[in-house]
Every structure is written in structure tokens, then in C-alpha cells.
Amino acid sequence: MKKYKRNILVTGGAGFIGSHVVRRLVKRYPDYRIVNLDKLTYAGNLENLADIQENDNYFFEKADICDFERVKEIIRSCEIDGIIHLAAESHVDRSIVDPFIFAKTNVLGTLTLLQAARDVWEESADGFAGKLFYHISTDEVYGALRTGKELFTEQTPYSPHSPYSASKASSDHFVRAFRDTYAMPVVISNCSNNYGPFQFPEKLIPLFINNIRHHKPLPVYGRGENVRDWLYVEDHARAIDLIFHEGRPGETYNIGGFNEWRNIDLVKLLVKVTDRLLGNPEGYSDELITYVTDRKGHDLRYAIDSTKLKSELGWEPSLQFEEGMERTARWYLDNQEWLDHVTSGDYLRYYESMYSKR
């Protein structure tokens, strides 16, 4: 068997952000073995990685991060020395409907990975030396900003307001507890809203691009006054790569775009860009914007201060939002087969059938 320089486990690697991270690592580090562990729930789609699935250094394991024995065996058999943990339930609306699945996946799943990694690594000849558990979290753990000038820093106290953010906050605490209790080398990053190709179309930007394409309503919560900081997903993947290789163990790094937009302004820009790409006259889809009852516990404003990441590791966003939005809208319109396949659920039934025969 080929000996690799590093053996990296990426959880949730068939999802939106995870697939970008896996693709980057597989292409950038041919001397690394990249193992993608994914349960292939509704948001996990191996079609996201079709371009690298034949690469010699890419391996896929269908598994549940809550399955302790299976996870432990994968870490041991693949000689994993680094874990980049992205697998998570992440849609706030779904967490409001069913908080239990968020607690199970995000909290118990993270704990399972931590304990499995600890068991295997402590048994190895060199212990924790050369090992790293990198946990990807969210800015939502910090709660809502109170003024228009505040930014979330790594020192901002946690104040989660939704079942989703509460589950992510809890998982962050477990990661830090393993650092402090067992001296496990860990690092955490908290990122702002991501957008870009391969995002499951329950999220605002791909959902609205698809709705504009089909001339369906664009439901905006409340009056669209909620503010979010947006980051192009490939910039996030680049930051994850950098933090994994050069970040200081035990530290937390905030990742944001310094790019705040009110939801209604974002939607209007998205309508303008998508209409132009579709060849519609300007203002054609404005009538699709509709205001709906606001979401429960809807935080007004998130904004990330990425100064630490920039000053220590030299990272900063590469795209202006308008350019990123143009690139994103064009990708979804150019990949309508992927979008139709995902929205129909056909991809999920295919994988269920494929793995049920094994």
C-alpha cells in the first residue's frame, strides 16, 4: 500500500463546504490520502465530487459520525493523523422543527469523533505528536450583535439563540474540553455565511436562483432587515487549508468576508444578476419578492472580525461580493441538471439503492 505523507479525514465531505475542502486537498496535496467520511443524508451528494472521484489519493467511506466503533476503525485502519470535522446539521429552520437530530449529529457526533480519535491516537507510538483535530463551527454561536458597529471576535461570549447554534456551541465546548482535559491538539474556526456552487437549495441563494429561474415567489423573512456577513465558499476552503497547516493548536480563528448585506438588499442584487443572466429585462423578477412571517428567534445581525486570521496567517477574502454572486448565479444556471437532480431527490434515492445492495 502506498505510504502517504499525511492521512486526513474530512467529515461531511460530500456536503456543500466539505466538498470544496475535499476537492482542494485532493488536488493540492497528491501526497496526502484524503478520506471523505459522509453519511450521505439529504445534503450529502457525491455528485459534488465527480471530478475527483477517480483520483488515486481520494477515498470515500459511507459512515455515520455517531457510530463510534466504525469511526474508530476508519481512523485506525487509514492511519488518520488529521481530522477536519465539517459534518453537521446546519439549517436553522430544520433545527426549529426537530432539535433532537441537531443535538445527536452536532453534539454526540462531535463527541464520538473526539473520543474515537483520542483512543486511537493515544494508543499510537507517538501519541498526539503530529496529530490535529480541526473543528469547523459557525458565527451563530455568538448570538446577535446589538449595534451596527460591533463585530464578533474570538473573545465574544457565546450566546446561541436557535437549536442549531446551541448544538454547535455545545460541540465547540466539547472540543475545548478535550484540549484542556486530555491535551488533545485541536483548533476551531467560526465562519460567517457561505455561498457558492454545490450548496443544497434549501439555503437562500441557490433557492432563490432556482425560484427566479422558474418564476416562483422569493419569500423574505420579516422585512428583510436581518444582516449577514457573506463569504465565497472557496475562500472558506482556502482558510481551512491554511488553518489546518499553519494555525496554532489550541486556538480559535474567526473567518468572515467583511461583507455585510441586509437580506432584502442581497435578494434584490440576486434578482438583478440572475435576470440579466437569463436574458430577462431589468426588474422582471422583482414582483416575485414576497414578505413572510419572520422566523422564530431570528438574530438581527452577524458580522465577523477576521483580523486575527489575517494578521497571523495572512488570509483575506479574494472576491468582491458582486463578482462572487455573478459567478454563483452563473454556476447554478449552467448546472441545471445538478440542481434538478438535487431538488427532485433522485440523487438520494440512487445512493440509498446503491448502498443497500452491499
Catalytic residue among 38, 89, 139, 234: 139
Active-site residue (options: 38, 64, 81, 140): 140
What gap in Å lies between CA 264 and CA 220, rounded to an integer? Answer: 7
Rounded Cα distance between 248 and 264, Å, is 38
CB-based contact 144:161 (threshold 8 Å): yes
Active site residue 202: no
Phi, psi of 255 (to 5 degrees): -125, 115
Shortest CA distance to 231 belongs to which of 158, 160, 325, 334? 325
Nearest to 328 by CA among 16, 14, 10: 16
Indicate if 139 belongs to the active site. Answer: yes
List phi, psi (to 5°) of 233: -60, -35
Active-site position among 134, 142, 164, 232: 164
CA distances from residue 77 to 18, 19, 107, 114 in whole angstroms, order as listed: 22, 23, 25, 17
> Is-catalytic flag, 64?
no
Q: From 118, 84, 89, 94, select the one nearest 104 (Cα to Cα).
A: 89
DSSP percent split of the chain into helix, strand, coil, nearest 5: 45, 15, 35
**How many of the other CB atoms lie within 10 Å of CB of 68?**
16
User: Where in the sequence numbering do the catalytic residues fall?
Assistant: 139-140, 164
